[in-house]
Chain A
Amino acid sequence: MRKEDRSIVVRHVSKTFTLRYHRTLKQMSVAMLRQQELSDSFLAVNDVSFTVQQGESIGLMGLNGSGKSTLLKMINGIMRPDSGKVLTRGRTAGLIATGAGFHPQLSGRDNVYLNAAILGMSEAETRRKFDDIVEFADIGRFLDSPVGHYSSGMFARLGFAVAIHVDADIFLADEVLAVGDRPFKKKCLAKMQEIRDSGTTLFYVSHAAGSVRKMCDRVIVLEKGHKAFDGDVDEGIKFLHYDDDNENALDIEEEMADDEELGADI
């Protein structure tokens, strides 16, 4: 492992959220009289460390609420860790939350420019890639109508289309395939494989074991904010389900079969 190949360094990163129970003055005074807690803190990411080499593709897995999105937001620079250090090399792009970064009143066209700018593209670069982006999103004549009228799938398509066309060195993908339809999912996976093969570091959050197997060469599992596993893909997936009861295992098998099929078509 050469130092200059390091793409992401995450060192002892922790993030605490404050949960507030009472918001108005009235609620707060009532709660104080009753000697209830006004707020509580919550460790969403707890002392996580890892290093990623340029070109690695990481599958980030874990149950709902285990801190995956929070970790990705810190790597993206949207959130700051309370303690610890995050370092990245080069340009980062990605889809953190579907629909984020769109202005509902603006047309799809204007949103493409705005979104691309936020991801670090210049005007010339956006113009050059505009047709590719639109073709990839495939939203037809809705391009010039306000994004607020889009379906959630169309939202996601446009967001993904912009993000994937950034010449990024690190690509973060969270919830990407959650709302897309089947053909679009396939297209996204294929495109992500393409950028992965070009040497972009990939961080892929998914609950679907099949697509993680297909996409990634390393798995990190978060469990209640801790890093519980870091290593080989198959072992990671096994780790994730080793204590599942039968009922859950059934669901997951179904889901995996689904994914496997999806993977096979590509």
Chain B
Amino acid sequence: MSAPATPMRRRPVDAPLRPPWSEQGILEVFRHRYILSLLVRREIAARYQGSVLGLLWSYVNPLSQFFIYYFVMGILFGRAQRTEDFAVHVFAGLIVVHFFTETMNAGTRSIVRNKSLVQKMAVPREMFPVASMLVSLFHVVPQVAILLVATLISGWRPDAMGLVFGVLGLLISMTLGTALALMFSAANVFLRDVSNAVNVLSNFVRFGVPMMYPYTLVAQRFHGHTSIYLLNPITEAVLAFQRAFWVGATSHPAHTAHIDMPPNMLWLSLRALVISLVILAIAQSTFTRLERRIPERLL
């Protein structure tokens, strides 16, 4: 027979008795920065594993989109003659749109893709969509560098207000992208249809914002009744980014801002940020509700 049961060993543990899961949602993610950084690094390394061009694909994709839009809208439809520095206009918008759609798409699939981790860990699962957003953000940096070169060549004169708008544009798309990634990532566990629906949504976003056409076109067509069009926070994000990098490159910035930007840009951008934050709060509460059943529904 084996040895008799050993007497009880005592070791005082200096910690409170508490539930083994966390309940603070997305805020908890920032207390797990180390895991987050590992996840982001892993994601960047894994996204294009086994491909020869590797990370370059992250730039081939937006750049090819840029050339298509520029060719079709700028050359075929003749937009390039009517809108000054049309290339900068398109590219500034594309950075925001691409960042947003990438965050939303990769974020939606993030939990299902990481199921082996989800089934193991008790750390907040908000981590995965947030990591997707950070990976997309990582790719924004070199794109902005390219944009800066392009806009400087076009005669860009930076201004302080432009900087504020640039930051606002990024913040809006970051907040809304994270919010939708959060909500869809949980929903996608239950219904894989969600990731397909998000693909469709991305198409609407690409055409629903003033990226391949200027805002003036919309204002003219609807005789200034653009309030619904402007309700979409990504519209403001794109406009803010164009205000930051494109308006200053045109020959008469004040005139361009007057014609091609809606009035009250600052107010509109702030409103868009607030809308995004409200959506983030709703997304978080949806996520919390769905999250309880995520591990058991992942096969």
Q: Interface of A with B (CB < 8 Å)?
A: 4-7, 9, 17, 53-56, 73-80, 85-92, 96-97, 99-103, 105-106, 110, 113-114, 117-118, 122-123, 169, 196-200, 210, 213-214, 216-217, 233, 260, 263-264
Tell me the smallest distance from the CB of B55 to a CB of chain A, in Å: 15
Q: Across chains A and B, which 9 residue pairs bring their CB atoms closest together, nearest first?
A: A199-B11, A77-B20, A77-B122, A101-B120, A217-B5, A77-B21, A55-B9, A100-B120, A90-B13
Closest-CB distance, A114 to chain B (whole angstroms): 5
Q: How large is the interface on B (under 10, 10 to 19, 20 to 34, 35 or more residues)?
A: 35 or more
Q: Does B263 contact A (CB under 8 A)?
A: no
CB pairs A–B below 8 angstroms (8 shown):
A80-B292, A87-B18, A89-B17, A106-B46, A118-B117, A118-B123, A169-B13, A260-B1
Q: How far is the CB of B263 from chain A (nearest CB, A)?
A: 48
B123 x A54 contact (CB < 8 A): no
In the complex, what's the smallest C-beta–C-beta distance from B202 to chain A, in angstroms? 24
Bound complex: CA A216 to CA B5 (Å): 7
The docked-state distance in angstroms from the alpha carbon of A96 to that of B45 is 27
- B2 touching A214 by the CB < 8 A rule? yes
- Tell yes or no: B121 within 8 A of A by CB: yes
Instruction: Specify which chain A residues have a CB less than 8 angstroms from the CB of B16 in the assembled complex.
Output: 89
Partner of B38, one of A6, A105, A117: A117
How many pairs of residues, A versus B, come closer than 8 Å at their CB atoms? 125
- B 171-199 to A, binary, CB cutoff 8 A, 1 in contact else 0: 00000000000000000000000000000
Name the distance in Å between A32's Cβ and chain B's nearest Cβ.
18
Q: Which residues of B contact A214 (CB under 8 A)?
A: 2-3
Write the chain A residue with the least CB distance to B119.
Answer: A100
Question: How long is the Cα–Cα vector from A76 to B22 in the complex, in angstroms?
Answer: 11
Tell me the bound Cα distance from A113 to B42 in angstroms: 11
Q: A77-B20, A86-B19 are in contact. Are A55 and B49 (CB under 8 A)?
A: no
A-chain residues with CB within 8 Å of residue B119 when the two chains form the complex = 78, 96-97, 100-101
Cβ of A54 and Cβ of B12 under 8 Å apart? yes
Contact B116–A99 (Cβ < 8 Å): yes
Is the pair B121, A101 in contact by a Cβ cutoff of 8 Å? yes
The answer to whether B8 touches A198, judged by C-beta atoms less than 8 angstroms apart, is: no
Partner of A197, one of B1, B6, B45, B46: B6
Does B10 count as interface, using CB distance less than 8 angstroms?
yes
Task: A102 to B18: give the CA distance in the assembly, Å.
Answer: 27
Among residues of A, the one whose C-beta sits closest to the C-beta of B41 is: A110
New A-B pairs, 12, CB < 8 Å, besides A103-B116, A122-B34, A217-B8: A73-B295, A77-B22, A86-B19, A96-B119, A99-B116, A110-B42, A118-B121, A197-B6, A216-B5, A217-B5, A260-B2, A264-B2
